[in-house]
Amino acid sequence: MGKRTCHESEDIYASIKIKLIPGSSKNQFAGKEDDFYRVKVTALPIEGRANRALISMLSKKLKRPKGDIEIISGKTSRIKLLRLRGIDKESVVGLMEAD
């Protein structure tokens, strides 16, 4: 095996589905429902505020920079598909289901 370069982790991607619940009383991860994770945010879905709150929460939870988290579908919907760069699916599941 060769030495791992810093660019190899950038080639790893994971996708997750999120059901975003804006306007909640507090920001929190609210478990898993079917094949998506439920996330509550206090921000309202105005001018992308709820999406930015979601990305900020995921950034902290998954220990990834905000720039590594991209909403690839559902920007104006409660159900969103996100692509996460630099982390594999198993790591995402482990971190999302921790606590």
User: Which CATH number among 3.30.465.10, 1.10.150.120, 3.30.1200.10, 3.40.50.720 corresponds to the domain 9-96?
Assistant: 3.30.1200.10
> How large is the C-alpha radius of gyration of the chain?
14
Q: What percent of the chain has pLDDT over 90?
A: 84
pLDDT band at 98 (very low <50, low <70, confident <90, very high): confident
- Domain edges within the chain: 9-96
Q: Which helix (H) or strand (E) holds 55?
A: helix 49-62
Is the pTM of the predicted complex or chain greater than 0.75? yes
Distance CA 76, CA 89 (A): 25
The per-residue pLDDT for range 24-54, each reduced to its tens digit, is: 999 999 999 999 999 999 999 999 999 999 9
Structure token pair of residue 41? 């945010």
User: Is the predicted pLDDT of residue 73 greater than 50, yes or no?
Assistant: yes
- Residue 6 is predicted with a pLDDT of 47
- Residue 60 is predicted with a pLDDT of 96
In the chain, the DSSP E strands lie at 13-21, 28-33, 36-40, 69-73, 79-85
- Residue 3 is predicted with a pLDDT of 45
Q: Tell me the pLDDT of the chain averaged across its residues.
A: 90
